[in-house]
Structure 1
């Protein structure tokens, strides 16, 4: 059964929310999460989707910007593949699609953050050729 990768349009925000809720363990109310995504779509953000038939089984945010140290870069955000589909090399295929998509848009670097406790993702990203550049800090105001 073929898998399809494509950009999810802003009108389909509601299709993204269930997977993002799983990623965040339902820590944010749906109404707040939806409002945040509406705002994100207005800020150089795109959401890539991984589909099996018509079912959305994976998502990944893409933030486009130019940085002084890396040039035109894409920050990959909230990568999530539904548990039922893990272990099938779909993450590798998803990132190959992301590399091609962003390179064709003229971007030259990809950055990402991952939670310190997510050891499986660390191994994946190292295998993809990512290097640790620094630490990500957060302070809620």
Structure 2
């Protein structure tokens, strides 16, 4: 297995089938549009490959907030269902942590939907813990992917 950091929109677009495990209705057009807005804001993706097949992928970006200083945010963490429980998620999480340390982050943050108990268990096992609530007020459901 090899871990590759994807930094261009085209590299990320090539992995849309893996993203579709999380967002089955994601179109190429919508994905490209979102990426074109995200990449200029430090967004990259980390992918685990075996024989040129993407087994898992996560997005991440760094930013700074008053409460934490520089941090790295995990976004859209997905492992191909046929390859779950094989350590792919741990490989991704370890790479993200290494990257966060290398760029001088104080912390790593992420959102996990309240009903996604499998993700909660995974993140607890990786040393993450809830710090607060991420409140959402939906203004236009039709603009959302989920």
- The alignment's TM-score, normalised by the length of structure 1, stands at 0.90
Distance 1:105 1:67 in 2: 15
Shift of 1:13: 2.5
Correspondence for 2:16: 17
Instruction: Count matched residues.
Output: 138
User: What residue number does 1:78 align with?
Assistant: 76
Mind listing any 5+ residue stretches in structure 2 that lack a counterpart? Answer: 141-146
1:26-41 equivalence runs, <5 A: 26=25, 28-41=26-39
2:45 aligns to what SS in structure 1? strand
Distance 2:48 2:17 in 1: 14
Equivalent pair of 2:12/2:45 in contact (CA under 8 Å): no
- Equivalent residue number for residue 69 of structure 1: 67
Supply the distance in 1 between the matched residues of 2:44 and 2:91 (Cα, whole angstroms). 18
Query: Is residue 15–residue 56 contact of structure 1 (8 Å, CA) maintained in 2?
Result: no
Distance between the aligned counterparts of 1:15 and 1:123, measured in 2?
30
Give the superposition deviation at 1:86.
0.5
* Contact residue 57 and residue 92 of structure 2 kept, 8 A: no
Partner of 1:95: 93
Whether the 8 Å CA contact 2:60–2:75 is kept in 1: the answer is: yes
What's the C-alpha RMSD, in Å, of the aligned pairs? 1.4
Structure 1, unaligned runs of 5 or more: none
3-state DSSP of counterpart to 1:42: helix
From 41, 44, 47, give the equivalent of 1:43: 41
**2:135 maps to 1:137:** yes
Q: Which residue of 2 aligns with 1:113?
A: 111
- CA positional deviation for 1:63: 1.5
- Provide the rounded CA distance (Å) in 2 between the counterparts of 1:20 and 1:38: 16
